[in-house]
Amino acid sequence: MFNLQGKNAVITGGGSGIGQAIALTFAENGADVRILELNEESARHTLEQIRAAGGNARVFTGNVADQKQMMSLMQQIIAQDGRLDILVNCAGIAHVGKLDQTAEADFDRIFAVNVKGIYNCMYAAIGQMLQQGGGVILNMASVASSVGIPDRFAYSMSKGAVVTMTLSVARDYIDKNIRCNCISPARVHTPFVDGFLAKNYPGKEKEMFDQLSKTQPIGRMAEPKEVAALALFLCSDEAEFITGCDYPVDGGFIKLNN
């Protein structure tokens, strides 16, 4: 089950965190992985891990916020592979701040990557999926799209947009054999979390990590591989009946936090 043998998967943000975990998991399960990443060094690190494990992957460097770049890179991938079976949009950035702490430049930066970036990649991929008779798109949203989280105004805005774009694409292409879903993680222990704590709470990293972990009713943060496991299922043939859904991976955060 959940075998991706013979499928080509483009994963944005595949150089670190959740995107890297998805790239590794997909490769382990037979997919030919195409890592689309702004940071070439981190992408190469993921590539080395995949190849060391006997998997197949290539790296493409670009900025998801630039539509011309995404169109060009997607055309390169399609020209080399002949098809595009799976697109996973993981590339994203964060911003900490309330409305009055969010400058226009902050808002535009978040929108450019988290919203327009996903639009750009889906736009660049949809033509090939229509031509070949189907495909799977998976977007990375957040629990911030469903509940109010303090100090995350712009980030929450962007993730709400991800969910509604997902639903729209799922509805518009349901009769074209193109499925589109999204995953909404709560806090996941990634390098971003470690960097955030080191920057904002120097000397108190462990204390704050424990505090943030306990905001999930289950008592800990998720591991990237746990999000990747759900991504594997949603992009596999076993999930052929699933489209237009948002899946929380949240340790009970949405429903059990009273």
225 closest CA partner among 11, 12, 21, 15: 21
Report which of 142, 117, 164, 115 is spatially closest to residue 247, judged by C-alpha positions.
142
CATH fold of 8-186+223-251: Rossmann fold (3.40.50)
Query: Three-state DSSP class for 242?
Result: coil
Among 56-60, 158-162, 191-195, 228-232, which stretch is predicted with the lowest mean pLDDT?
191-195
- Asked whether the predicted pLDDT for residue 109 surpasses 90, the reply is yes
Give Cβ neighbours of residue 112 (< 8 Å, ≥ 6 apart).
Answer: 65
> Domain-by-domain residue ranges, the chain?
8-186+223-251, 187-221
Cα–Cα–Cα angle for 137, 139, 144, nearest 5°? 160
pLDDT of 134 > 70? The answer is yes
Give the ranges where the chain is alpha helix by DSSP (H): 17-28, 40-52, 67-81, 104-110, 116-132, 153-172, 191-200, 205-213, 224-235, 253-256
pLDDT reading at 257 higher than 90: no
User: Would you state the structure tokens that stand for residue 177, as one six-digit string?
Assistant: 């054999």
Range from 103-112, 123-132, 190-199 carrying the lowest mean pLDDT: 190-199
Whether 155 is catalytic: yes
DSSP 87: E
At 241-252, the pLDDT tens digits run: 999 999 999 999
Write out pLDDT tens, residues 157-183. 999 999 999 999 999 999 999 999 999
How large is the C-alpha radius of gyration of the chain? 18
What are φ and ψ of residue 152, in 5° steps?
-135, 40
What residues are paired with 182 via a beta bridge? Answer: 139, 246
Q: Report pLDDT digits (tens) over 191-204.
A: 888 888 888 889 99
Q: How far apart are the first and last CA of the chain?
A: 37
Options 119, 155, 173, 247, the catalytic residue? 155
User: Residue 191: what pLDDT?
Assistant: 85
Q: What is the mean pLDDT of residues 39-54?
A: 97
pLDDT value for 229: 98
The mean pLDDT of the chain is 96
pLDDT at position 135 over 70: yes
Judged against a pLDDT cut of 80, whether residue 258 lies above it is answered with no
Please give the pLDDT value at position 199. 85
Q: What is the pLDDT, as a whole number, of residue 200?
A: 82
Q: How far is CA 88 from the centre of its chain?
A: 6
